[in-house]
Structure 1
Amino acid sequence: MNRDEDEILTKFFTLMNKVKDVLVVNRPELFEYVKNTNFRDPFGRYFQIVLYIGTNKRTTMTEFADHFKLKAGTATGIIDQLVEKDIISREANPKDRRKVELILTELGNAVYDKVIQIQKDEIRSVLEALNPQDMIHAKEILDKINNALIIKERKAKNQNE
C-alpha cells in the first residue's frame, strides 16, 4: 500500500467514525425523544433494524435475516421483541398472502422520521462549509464510492449463493 492509499484509508475511517458519532451516537435530542417512547434500545441493534425497515418500507423475514446475517430463529426472536414493543408489525404480502412482510408501526415510523430529520439537518449544517464547486466534487466522489460499494456487495452476495 502506498502512502496516498494509507492516508485515504485513515481519513476514510476517521470520517466514518465521525459521521456515526455526529449522526447517531451524540444525539441528545434523539435520545430524549426515544426515552419517552416504548423504544428502549436507541443505538443498538433495534435502532439499526428500524433504519433498515424504514428505508425499505417493507421487507420479508428472509430479507431481514439475510441483511443482518441472522439465523431464522434469531431473526424471529428479535422481530417478536419489536412487535411486542409496537415498533414493527407483520403483515401479509398483498400479492402473496403466504408471505409475511415487516413494516414499521406508527411509533416505528415516528422514530424513523425523527432520526432521518436529525441526520438531514446535521448533514446540511456540515455541507454549508463547502462552496458550490466542492459540492459538485463531493457528489461525484460520493457517487463513485457508493457505486463501488454496491458492486462489492453484489459480488459478495453472488459468492454466498
Structure 2
Amino acid sequence: MNKEKTELVKSFVCALENLMMGMQQVDSSCMEAYSDVSKRDFALLIMLGKSDSMIMREIADFLQVPLSTATGIVDKLIEKGYVERQFSPEDRRIILIRLNKEGKAIYLTLLNKLNYFGTMLLEEFSNEDRIRFTQYMEKAANATSHLRFKKI
C-alpha cells in the first residue's frame, strides 16, 4: 500500500472511531436509563424491533452464540418483561420471539436517541453533502455486510 493510501486509511479509521464514540454515548445514555439491559440485550432488542419477530436460530446467529446461550438470553429478557414467545400463526411448531410493550418502549427510546444523533451529525453538512454522505455510509455498510456474522 502506498504512503498516500496508508494516510487516507488512517484518517478514515480515525473519523470512524470518532463516529463510533458518538454512537457509544447514545448506547451509554440508554444503558443508564435501562440498567438491567446489557449491550448484547440492546443489540437483540434493536434487531427484534427492526424485524418484528425472530426464531431462536436467527437470534443465535445474530448474537454469534450457541442456541442454548441464545435461549438463556431470551429467557432473561422474558423475565425482565421485554420480550415474549408466541407460536407462529402459520406453523405452531415454530416459536417466534418478539418485543412486548415494554421492549418496544426501549426500542423506541434508543431509536429516538439514534435519530437525534443522526440529525445532529447531518446538520453539519449541506443538503447535497447529506445525501452523498448517506449514500457513502450505505455503500460502506453493504461492503461490510458479509462480515456481520463472522469474527474478524
Report TM bin, short chain: 0.7 to 0.9
1:144 to partner: Cα distance? 1.9
Q: Is the 8 A contact 1:50 1:104 kept in 2?
A: yes
Matched, 1:80 2:75: yes
Q: Is the 8 A contact 1:58 1:101 kept in 2?
A: yes
**Counterpart position of 1:113:** 108
Q: Is the 8 A contact 2:40 2:63 kept in 1?
A: no
Matched to 1:9, the amino acid is V
TM-score by length of 2: 0.83
| Change over 3 Å in CA distance of 1:68–1:95 after alignment to 2 | same
Matching of residues 1-161 of structure 1 within 5 Å: 1-25=1-25, 30-35=30-35, 40-42=36-38, 44-150=39-145, 152-153=146-147
Output the aligned Cα RMSD: 2.4
Q: C-alpha distance in 1, partners of 2:50/2:125?
A: 27
Q: Is the 8 A contact 1:23 1:118 kept in 2?
A: no
The share of aligned pairs that are identical, in percent, is: 26
1:25 counterpart SS class: helix
Q: C-alpha distance in 2, partners of 1:33/1:128?
A: 26
Structure 1, unpaired ranges of 5+ = none
Q: C-alpha distance in 2, partners of 1:91/1:7?
A: 52
TM-score by length of 1: 0.79
Structure 2, unpaired ranges of 5+ = none
1:102 counterpart SS class: strand
Matched to 1:75, the amino acid is A
Q: C-alpha distance in 2, partners of 1:54/1:9?
A: 34
1:88 to partner: Cα distance? 1.0
2:37 counterpart SS class: coil
1:51 to partner: Cα distance? 1.3
> Which deviates the most, 133-142 or 25-34?
25-34
Give a deviation string over 1:29-83, Cα, whole Å, max 9, x none.
5345324xxxx125x2211111121121111000000111111111111111111
* Count of paired positions: 150
| Change over 3 Å in CA distance of 1:72–1:10 after alignment to 2 | same
| Change over 3 Å in CA distance of 1:45–1:29 after alignment to 2 | closer
1:96 counterpart SS class: coil
1:15 to partner: Cα distance? 3.6
2:34 counterpart SS class: helix
